[in-house]
Structure 1
């Protein structure tokens, strides 16, 4: 009798294991990458007609703030804008709308919020109320950065492990809220794409409670007076680039820290970085420069495309090792690092090859006639 029971238990265990493998296998074969657009409109209402809802899977509306440890609206038009974003679901019923909390400017309250069980619960309760109020599909937490100063923020060595407790509690609260609302609720975060971020994090534990981890794979080389020009959003690290940083390096480090590939989302920059008073040589790449304002003004892709690329003295160059373009004007002594359709397509190809979660970009209104967004969709083989 005992032998029969043992055999039955073994058979049952095998069946469960087979089902688990089949489930994993199904997940593995059904590759459905996300396209997450950060939408930022701090000073005016959104025009929903300008947002191509069918070309996105998720919108992260930036930013909500933290006040007294609670999630609150960030800008005057937020109530209206959340409603306008909801209206996009008529055109794309599967579109997910999240609120992104924090960002570079508003990350000052995170460390205090995460510090105690009471302060964490205050935040979690407010996030639940915020999701209800705006009918959201989840929360994206953009803490820049746990354990690091960021924009001169309060930070502590225990931020990483405290954030694990925040995410654990938030996931538990969202699980309950899902039953009540009858729909899925997501938790995502934006992460720094540099080694010190991961060193101060507890990301191997965070990831268990997260749907997606959006790597900010940009601003790797940043204009500083006396600094050196370089790619700000390269796919691969160029051997001559002392920063050693790139999207690929960030993905590799995130995976080494315990994040599964399917949760990693690679950030693309819909804006450039410009250096002025650049020393000539090598078409401006890797040269000493200053961080002045270029004559053409904004380095958003929209402005680069309209007023700089292929105009005047500006020549486009391509780094085939880094898979990154740059613009150089010897006359203006100006160097611009940016993403364009060729570099964006290369990133999507990489994402597909590595079976990563998908792509995100900062930020929607900086595109030019949907040129970069259309490139993403086309490179993923999406038809719209």
Structure 2
């Protein structure tokens, strides 16, 4: 039976009542997208992460949104929303390894965090290190053996200093987490329970799993992965891997992307419409109207992100409704990844993305596993009316899924995500 998600007034009311009100609804606010965020109702979030503070080699950091931060904090606090500074990100993680291994620079960073929280009346610090123990961006320094244990020591010190300055538990520490636990010597940690003791929430980045870096098309954010196709990690496997390693489910926050990624297929994918894994070109096309070519100084090359924000899939004539494609685009649904995908036979462009239907499936599963709530990258990408946010807030409301049981989780190697989140 084909399932169609319909958000009636009653459904939305249910999503906003009861358990949904106690859930964490976190959203990343990119400083460089301030203007595009003006139309978004941020009162629907419980936590906003200002992105990104960029660390220096000395252990201090700088945020290019300092000029508007006081007003944002004041406005959001007036709506009952907590505000945290997120430090790092894909291109801002190059110094973390060296900072936390040196007692002097580690202490400097702890002090800079505490001082910044105090000066700006923030509710805490979010750290987005991509990634402890493994390479993220090409410029990043990493130490396979020592990053993860050094990170734990740093976080323990940060918790102690925040508690000393503001009172025990008064300020939050949250972390952006890759789809598998922190690496030690090339393998995911088997025990991360000590991290969870000093961290309030871990925000799982369950997206950027497949994309233009792969030889084949595939789902950006699969609910389940398909055995032997694409990266062998998923929304489901991320939750399982972290909880098996000792991170409590009620301190995990499920991550969803309010965007899709486009690539160019080598063949007409409409000839095999049930297969979203087909050979693709290495050159990524431009995405929506906000995408542009950018120069990666670390890689020494210029490329497009191929990103399509949900709002632009809707307002640039790709989708005429949440689940209807405009010709010549054709929408397909993959029963394993539980996500939609689009194909344009004229241009051979493929787009993998999340929509209200696929997000509702993920929220139902995350709720059933006892997670704390959901996190979004990023707040500026939704429609002004909040189509995707309505699906996020269905967490805990009994939203229907196409299938009741996730596929078996593989113990395959982790994905090397290329997230900017």
- TM-score, length basis structure 1: 0.84
Comparing 188-197 and 330-339, the one that deviates more: 188-197
Deviation at 1:239, TM superposition (A): 3.1
How far apart, in 2, do the equivalents of 1:218 and 1:210 lie? 22
2:210/2:230 contact within 8 Å kept: no
2-structure distance, mates of 1:343, 1:354: 17
Seen in structure 2, the aligned counterparts of structure 1 residues 200 and 73 have a Cα distance that, compared at 3 Å, is same
- Name 1:12's counterpart in structure 2: none
Q: Deviations over 1:25-79 (max 9, x none)?
A: xxxx9993201000112265686x534233111001100111243343321x323
1:294 to 1:117, Cα distance in 2 relative to 1, 3 A: closer
User: How far did 1:287 drift?
Assistant: 0.3
**Compared CA separation, residues 278 and 380, structure 1 to 2 (3 A):** farther
Asked if structure 2 preserves the Cα contact closer than 8 Å seen for 1:55 and 1:374, the reply is no
1:292 aligns with 2:308: no
- Report the RMSD for the aligned CA atoms in angstroms: 2.4
Q: Does 1:255 align with 2:243?
A: yes
> Distance between the aligned counterparts of 1:189 and 1:196, measured in 2?
11
Contact 1:146 1:200 in 2 (8 A): no
1:324-335 correspondence to structure 2 within 5 Å = 324-335=339-350
Q: Tell me the distance in 2 between the aligned counterparts of 1:187 and 1:144.
A: 17
What SS is found at the alignment partner of 2:108? helix
For residues 223-258 of structure 1, what are the alpha-carbon distances to aligned partners after superposition, in whole Å with 9 as ceiling and x for unaligned? 137x10111101112235242211101111111111
Deviations along 1:79-131, one digit per CA (max 9) or x if unpaired, are: 313432331222x22x1100100000010110111012222111111110010
Name the structure 2 match of 1:140.
Answer: 126
Q: Given the alignment of the two structures, is residue 42 of structure 1 paired with residue 28 of structure 2, yes or no?
A: no
Partner of 2:173: 187
Which fold has the larger relative contact order, with Cα–Cα distance below 8 Å and residues 6 or more apart in sequence? 2
> d(CA) in 1 for partners of 2:126 and 2:154?
13
Q: Report if aligned partners of 1:46, 1:84 keep a CA contact under 8 Å in 2.
A: no
User: Of the candidates 310, 326, 331, which is equivalent to residue 301 of structure 1?
Assistant: 310
Contact 2:330/2:342, CA 8 A, preserved across alignment: yes
Please give the residue correspondences for 1:1-384 in structure 2 after superposition, counting only pairs within 5 Å. Answer: 32-42=22-32, 44=34, 50-75=39-64, 77-90=65-78, 92-93=79-80, 95-152=81-138, 153-156=140-143, 157-179=145-167, 184-194=170-180, 197=183, 199-200=187-188, 203-224=192-213, 227-239=215-227, 241-280=229-268, 281-283=271-273, 285-290=276-281, 291-294=283-286, 298=291, 299-307=308-316, 308-309=318-319, 310-369=325-384, 370-381=386-397
C-alpha separation in 2, matches of 1:327 and 1:217: 20
Q: Secondary structure in 2 aligned to 1:69?
A: coil
What SS is found at the alignment partner of 1:166?
A: helix
What corresponds to 1:17 in structure 2?
none
Of the structure 1 ranges 267-276 and 318-327, higher mean CA displacement relative to structure 2 is found in 318-327
SS of 1:205's equivalent? helix
Give distance in 2, aligned partners of 1:249 and 1:146: 19
State the shift of 1:296 in Å.
Answer: 5.4
Instruction: Work out whether residues 231 and 338 of structure 1, in 8 Å CA contact, stay in contact via their aligned partners in 2.
Output: yes
Q: 1-side partners of 2:208 and 2:373: how far apart?
A: 20
Q: Distance in 1 between matches of 2:67 and 2:287?
A: 37
| Residues in 1 aligned to 2:206 and 2:381: alpha-carbon distance in whole angstroms | 17
Q: Which runs of 5+ in 1 are unaligned?
A: 1-28
- 1:150 & 1:371 partners in 2: Cα distance? 32
Deviation at 1:205, TM superposition (A): 2.3
* Deviation of 1:380 (Å): 4.2
Deviation of 1:351 after TM superposition, in Å, equals 1.2
TM-score normalised to the size of structure 2?
A: 0.77
Structure exhibiting the larger radius of gyration computed from Cα positions: 1
Q: Distance in 1 between matches of 2:383 and 2:263?
A: 22
Q: Distance in 2 between matches of 1:42 and 1:213?
A: 24
SS in 1 for 2:67: helix
Change in 2 beyond 3 A, CA 1:171/1:353: same
